[in-house]
Amino acid sequence: MYDESILELESVRQEDVWTYEVIKAKYLTYWDAKEFEFAEAMTKALRIYHPNLTEGWLLRAECVFETKGAKKAAEVLIEDEDSLKEQADILFAIGRYLALADELLKARDYLRTAIKLDNKYRAEFIQDEAFDGVWESF
């Protein structure tokens, strides 16, 4: 199934190769096959060809989380923090990865900023067990 899906996606017309839908389909195919390095490569394509979407950065961090852990996932997002510092979803993800890496004080700072930018993250913060340590540190 995996091989057939990739072959089908690779046969997409040249002018459609870099569309969001094709890149995302490739990413999901690799992700489902647990080929996280290949999935991460597709996130690079998302970041290059669709830079207005934060999804490429978030998906890359998730791939890194699967292969290298929470601390490295936070680091890949922090690398691009200057250009993404107003993106609540990115800041929230950094906070979550830092919480999972047991860096609670750093996590708290990112979470506060994310919640100030978009209050919807308050409910996610309360409900997600990854933040139990951060919650207790307040």
CA distance 100 to 45: 27
Q: What are phi and psi of 129, to 5 degrees?
A: -65, -20
Burial class (CB in 10 A: 0-12, 13-18, 19+), 95: buried
Question: CA 123: distance to chain centroid?
Answer: 19
In this structure, what DSSP letter does residue 83 have? H
Whole-prediction pTM: 0.84
For the chain, 138 residues long, give each residue's pLDDT as a single digit of tens. 556 665 555 655 666 678 899 899 999 999 999 999 999 999 999 999 999 999 999 999 999 999 999 999 999 999 987 788 899 999 999 999 999 999 999 999 999 999 999 999 998 888 888 787 776 666
CA distance 26 to 23: 5
